Structure 1
Amino acid sequence: MPQAYPPEEALERWLQRFVDFIVAKRGLAAALHSGDPAFEALPAYFDSRFEPALQRLLDAAVTAGEIRPDANPYDLLRAVASLCMPSSDGNPAAVRRLVALLVDGLRYRAADPQGAAGPSHEPDESNYR
């Protein structure tokens, strides 16, 4: 996908396909957290496939100056998976809009075309306790 689309578009398309995967595998989350030893290796299995693919997309988008450089695949995969958790309305379109907002937020500190960094906002981690 990275060569078929500009880097940021490829990233967003990949994350939207990840939404499709999560939505299609709703029962998988319960199995992964069931404590059943048969499913013990699955999180590492999925991480070993998804994280490198997403890292390549992130690297391309950062190099192109389209997204902020501090995004990492682990955080993004967890964020998207969390957004896919069943909501009261069960609306996949709402999840897609939320993922689009998430990707838009990755642009916040991306360099502009002249190479100057965008506005910086470092989160105050004391707010997360």
Structure 2
Amino acid sequence: MGRTLWGYDWHGPSLLNIQYAIKALMNPTGIFKDYLKNSIPDSNKLFISGHSNGGQGAWYFISHYPDLILDSSLAEFNNDLYISNLVNIPILARVGANDNNVPPMHSRQMVRLVNEYSHNPLAINLSEVINQGHWFDNMIIF
């Protein structure tokens, strides 16, 4: 469960795996305690990123669980219902302008909805990389 042709889908058991991994990094034990002693992440400063299905998962994760409470969501896959959770979270959505796998219109919609809800047209930003499709061959700086 949680596995698709493209990998884990960030919903159900897959989401629990992600949350357990974050929790484990915050409180390392055994050999990981010594290995991570100088680099234990701050749970208040998580950086969430994803590509393709992982990008959809990033939208899902930050919109449904900004407080990391599992019971805060009842409607699976409906990221737009949780727009209010994205207010005051710094977000840069990045897409290939010619992506024919995950059309840029999905990210445009999320950005527009958050900006409207925030009453701020610049609350979050969208970077569309011209002449790029679903996957970039190299890092493109803007």
TM-score between both structures, scaled by the size of structure 2:
0.30
Of Structure 1 and Structure 2, the greater helix share is in 1
Identify the structure with the greater strand proportion: 2
Structure with the greater relative contact order (CA < 8 A, sep ≥ 6): 1 or 2?
Answer: 1
